[in-house]
Amino acid sequence: METLFDLIRLPPERIAAALVFLAGFMVACEYLRITLSVVAPRSVPVHVLCALLTVVIQPVVLAASLVLGIADHPQRALINMLYIALLYMVWYLAGQSTLLVRPDTQGADLGFMAVGALFITFPPGLVAALVY
């Protein structure tokens, strides 16, 4: 029986399902962020959770997926990095779509996304590609 953990590992034989799962996770994080900010806009814990959803949780999940995928299939390191870059585009589009709900919010925060990509997601992937 295949689990979600198996999909996070970017298996080549199930890559479409893995990408759909990860894209859904990215969209869910963005929509949870906007939902929380609408429900409790002045709450400090909600603000912290929204920041974690944006700058920590999504990049860490993508980094784990990248490293596990490279560890399982080292010959696919470059293609897996391209898949993760594609998921960053999904993340951006999901963030921008939140502007439909609240035009006064930031939408997709490119600064947070850049920090996530440059300091959280891709460095471990590059190290994994060099090690494996």
How does DSSP assign 59-91, residue by residue? HHHHHHHHHHHHHH-GGGHHHHHHHHHHHHHHH
pTM for the structure as a whole? 0.94
**Residue range 100-109, pLDDT digits in tens:** 988 887 788 8
Residue type, 36: L
Residue type, 78: L
pLDDT band for position 54 (cuts 50, 70, 90): confident
Greater confidence (27 vs 107) lies with 27
- State the Cα–Cα distance between residues 81 and 23, nearest whole angstrom: 15
